[in-house]
Structure 1
Amino acid sequence: MASRDLNAPNILFILSDDHGAWAMGCAGNEEIVTPNLDRLASTGIRFESFFCASPVCSPARASILTGMIPSQHGVQDYLRKGNSTFLPADGEEIDYLEGRRAYTDVLSEAGYACGLSGKWHLGHSALPQMGFSYWNVHASGGSNYYDAPMIVDGEFSQPEGYVSDVITDNALDFLTDQLDSAAPFSLNVHYTAPHAPWNRENHPAELFDDYYENCAFDSTPVENIHPNQLQKDLQAATVGDNEETRRSALSGYYAAVTAMDTNIGRLLDWLESNGLRENTLVVFTADNGMNMGHHGIWGKGNGTYPPNMFDTAVKVPTLVSRPGHVPQDLVCAKLLSQYDFMPTLLGYVGIEDSSADALPGRDFSPILRGESLGDGSPVFVLDEYGPTRMIRTDRWKYVHRYSDGSHELFDLANDPAEAHNLVDESRFAEKIVELKQELENWFDRYADPHIDGSKQNVMGRGQLGLVGSESYPKPFADDVVFYSDRG
């Protein structure tokens, strides 16, 4: 009946899509309904300073799995091409992570049954990869919520129903199959929620209508549209430029979160009813954060050009729970990142990884055991989106743009809303030099010079092929249209 060996716990890794750290009840949002995320927080640890490796889906997802930064694994924008030949707008299959090694590869080799249900969006969706023996995935990176395109056993289908329900149904099928085995499992459940579209037709009507008619949405700011806001189609975002579009977008976004939360409850209930909750490490996080009007932006890092690195885009909600083993009802403020997941998950289950020395991440599994990180506590985290890079400490954030746009410096202790860019103030010149040097030293250590993102023409409009390959002389799209220039 799956693993009951305390030294080989099961792993349930739940990933949401475009989910701001602010969009959970347990994070202080009194308007959004998330009883099951709150349940995880009360039975585990909520990490309030957890960051993505890149504020866009595909690079962040690759970093979670491989422990590499985008300038190591080569996925540096959302994958616009190479996902599936089943999709007319795509029509290609590219193995973006060929030759890379994921923590799920290591787990599989150690005897774990590894399954993936939901969003992949890392190329060649018909091909099971990264040690996953169960593979039931979304064909692309996003779609309508009903009749979503899915691939299982190399076959394309569009199962009826709401996609968060479908992903959960498939995950429960995998879990049920584990009841006949004593081997531990590692199940990744990757929702497409709460990624756009957010219109009423894409979500349960009763949820959408309840938010639309009854929620004040005081939990998100009302600001003028950012001058660098990009034009978005409905599959990417709705720009809330008036009261109606704002209310509609937020109703869909909140409804998507709540519907996903209900399905997370189904997974937790299954673990409890089968006596596996105490021997399953449950991790919930997101690929990237999300601006829903924050800073006047509707979108994640590529809501603007050049990309933005505001905390609302780069902070991700992160919860870890295992009753009786992980401390309960704890909030951790340590600076941590997605590139820390691979060493942490392997460290938690006691599996050594020979590639660890080449990776930037740190094992924070002592926190999950109620122990101290000691001298291993990180003092900064770093982020990248092509030529835009960020270094952040508890107090300072410095954003350096190697191509377009200006640099930024924020004093987070005195300006947590990141409203005042101090980069041109001479009194902070030494601080800027110090942070820039730390940033460059770190990327010099870990970035592969052949695919270094700071030298790529990443404009937030999608990746079309492999970086550094003669077969793809133009690996990134550049069809940027600003919202102010829309037709």
Structure 2
Amino acid sequence: MRVGLRSLLVCCLFVATGQAASQAEDRPNFLIILCDDLGYGDLACYGNKTIKTPNLDKLADQGTRLTDCYSAAPVCSPSRAGLLTGRTPNRLGVYDWIPEGNVTHLREDEKTVAKLLKGAGYQTGQFGKWHCNGHFNSDLQPQPDDHGFDHWFATQNNASPTHKQPTNFVRNGEPVGPTKDFSCQVVADEAIGWLERRDPEKPFFMFVCFHEPHEPIDSPEDLVTSYPQATKKGEALYYANVTNMDKAVGKLMAALDKEKLDDSTFVFFTSDNGPETLSRYRSAWRSHGSPGPLRGMKLHLYEAGIRVPGIMRWPGHVAKGAVCDEPVGGVDVLPTCCQLAGVKVPTDKTIDGTSMVPAFHCEPIKRETPLHWHYYRSLTEPVSAMRDGDWVVLGIWDLDKKKPRHYQPGDDDVIKNYKLVRFELYNLKDDLGQRRDLSSAEPERLEKMSEQLKGILKGVQQEAPDWTAQTTTSPQKKG
């Protein structure tokens, strides 16, 4: 699909160096919606024949559905940190999901998209799951406001005790107490309230992070009973959970329409990683997410662990009703927002993402470095991956086994020093399910891509912090 003249002129306005608009009315607002454990095959517009997602289907019809959208990691905390900073999360020291009280966190010296936009006059709000620190709502580690959010309404990790009337939200440092609805509706209502109270003279950045459909799952009874064909234990609960999240998205879109903000707001909907499995832990019996045609699940570096739904909408700028197969990633959010807002992308640290503006009209994105991922606790052998064009190379490390638990002090030696010694190679255009390893059939391509991946990994490892060296029994305090 080619760019129309009007859209081309608008895009050129943002692309040209030094030509970015400086007035609030010329800069778009941003609404980034991030789901938790939503599978590539969970939405009707991605081929699901059972789960009803009319609001997201409508959003896709109004904008562009991305077939090759990737999270920054195959697990929650790293994925969120990567999206916020535009940096592959191992550079940040966010290697895995962060348990309560853990030393790892998104350090205050990292420049998040919220911090950059706030410095350019944007109003900023974060709503829902945070999961970028172990010491939540504490002065021991940075909190959402330290990363650029004027207003925050968050939980450290999951909605607790379940999605139904969670009790663990904190608003700007103050515990909220019991809530009266399901988590996605609570989050959407808070975001809408903030939207209605905002200063209409200033642009805004909203980061809405639903807990759904992550465990512990609970869903409205009327939605559960709307899936009588779901006969497996927990199946109807999961389907209803995705539909309830879809209803919350519809509520957000209606709020934008009411405030007459549709045409001035760039909306990006995605997931933090692939779907949870039923067997990984005892209470995951409700996790019936679908990887669609992809190989793997959450915690895998095969496609289903990192390829996720992606929908973007901005009337007059993003192609309407389009389907785009250009690869984009969570790390591309920061460069994209910076370009559209006329804000310089930081140059003091490596940025792994690239602006996805060309994909607004399905044009190729030119990357200096291919998209890449590193996860030392992958449930399958590959611990690093890189995509270049239609090709993906996966690297397997030189150790006998992986760490059995989340990051612990002392793991830095492994994470910062492992080497890739074996590789798998796949052509996604011909083999989306990654069933045919072409490493033997394509020796020259394998050598080129594997050497590039090894070089990228080495640079990431050199930049990654050593948490063990920085602390002994407790994390350093802020400041």
Alignment of 1:164-175 (within 5 A): 164-175=184-195
Aligned partner of 2:376 in structure 1 is 386
Q: Residues 178-227 of structure 1: CA distance to partner in whole angstroms, max 9, x if unpaired?
A: 1x4311111111000011224xxx2111212322x224xxxxxxxxxxxx
Q: Distance in 2 between matches of 1:68 and 1:276?
A: 30
Give the direction of change, closer, same or farther, for the CA distance of 1:206–1:131 in structure 2 (3 Å limit): same
Alignment of 1:67-78 (within 5 A): 67-78=86-97
Please identify, of 93-102 and 341-350, the stretch whose mean Cα deviation from structure 2 is larger: 93-102
Residue 208 of structure 2 aligns to which amino acid in structure 1?
V
Query: Which of 260, 265, 268 is equivalent to 1:280?
Result: 265
Q: Distance in 1 between matches of 2:317 and 2:431?
A: 37
Give the direction of change, closer, same or farther, for the CA distance of 1:330–1:18 in structure 2 (3 Å limit): same
Aligned partner of 2:396 in structure 1 is 401
Alignment of 1:35-184 (within 5 A): 35-82=54-101, 95-123=105-133, 124-126=135-137, 127=143, 128-143=145-160, 144-148=162-166, 149-156=168-175, 157-178=177-198, 180-184=199-203
Aligned partner of 1:326 in structure 2 is 318
Q: CA deviation at 1:133?
A: 0.7
Q: Distance in 1 between matches of 2:457 and 2:470?
A: 21
User: For 1:309, what is the secondary structure of its paired residue?
Assistant: coil
Give the direction of change, closer, same or farther, for the CA distance of 1:203–1:299 in structure 2 (3 Å limit): closer
Q: Distance in 2 between matches of 1:322 and 1:410?
A: 34
Q: CA deviation at 1:396?
A: 3.0
Q: Residues 393-437 of structure 1: CA distance to partner in whole angstroms, max 9, x if unpaired?
A: 4443322122346753334344322234455xx434443322211
Counterpart check, 1:360 vs 2:352: yes
Asked if the contact 2:70/2:328 (under 8 Å) is kept, the reply is: yes
Alignment of 1:298-337 (within 5 A): 307-337=299-329
Alignment of 1:427-466 (within 5 A): 427-445=441-459, 447-449=460-462, 451=464, 466=467
Q: Distance in 1 between matches of 2:290 and 2:236?
A: 18
User: For 1:358, what is the secondary structure of its paired residue?
Assistant: coil
Alignment of 1:250-265 (within 5 A): 250-265=235-250
Counterpart check, 1:412 vs 2:428: yes
User: For 2:206, what is the secondary structure of its paired residue?
Assistant: strand
Residue 35 of structure 1 aligns to which amino acid in structure 2?
P
Q: Distance in 2 between matches of 1:68 and 1:285?
A: 17
Give the alignment's Cα RMSD to 1 decimal: 3.2
Residue 125 of structure 1 aligns to which amino acid in structure 2?
F
Alignment of 1:203-242 (within 5 A): 203-211=219-227, 213-215=228-230
Unaligned stretches of 5+ residues in structure 2: 1-21, 138-142, 280-286, 378-382, 402-421
Q: CA deviation at 1:118?
A: 0.5
Q: Distance in 2 between matches of 1:277 and 1:427?
A: 50
What is the aligned residue count? 409
Give the direction of change, closer, same or farther, for the CA distance of 1:471–1:429 in structure 2 (3 Å limit): same
Q: Residues 152-196 of structure 1: CA distance to partner in whole angstroms, max 9, x if unpaired?
A: 132222323211111111111101111x43111111110000112
Asked if the contact 2:41/2:47 (under 8 Å) is kept, the reply is: yes
User: For 1:331, what is the secondary structure of its paired residue?
Assistant: strand
User: For 2:426, what is the secondary structure of its paired residue?
Assistant: strand
Q: Distance in 2 between matches of 1:300 and 1:380?
A: 27
Asked if the contact 1:9/1:184 (under 8 Å) is kept, the reply is: yes
Give the direction of change, closer, same or farther, for the CA distance of 1:292–1:274 in structure 2 (3 Å limit): same
Q: Distance in 1 between matches of 2:146 and 2:57?
A: 32
Residue 163 of structure 2 aligns to which amino acid in structure 1?
Y
Q: Residues 289-337 of structure 1: CA distance to partner in whole angstroms, max 9, x if unpaired?
A: 225579xx98899x99995222111101111101222211111111222
Residue 117 of structure 1 aligns to which amino acid in structure 2?
F
Give the direction of change, closer, same or farther, for the CA distance of 1:404–1:160 in structure 2 (3 Å limit): farther
User: For 1:78, what is the secondary structure of its paired residue?
Assistant: coil
Give the direction of change, closer, same or farther, for the CA distance of 1:141–1:293 in structure 2 (3 Å limit): closer
Identity rate of aligned residues, in percent? 28
Q: CA deviation at 1:439?
A: 0.8
TM-score, normalised by the number of residues in structure 2? 0.77
Q: Distance in 2 between matches of 1:322 and 1:13?
A: 12
User: For 2:433, what is the secondary structure of its paired residue?
Assistant: coil
Give the direction of change, closer, same or farther, for the CA distance of 1:413–1:293 in structure 2 (3 Å limit): farther
Aligned partner of 2:256 in structure 1 is 271
Asked if the contact 1:336/1:378 (under 8 Å) is kept, the reply is: no
Alignment of 1:368-383 (within 5 A): 368=360, 370=361, 372-373=363-364, 376=366, 380-383=370-373
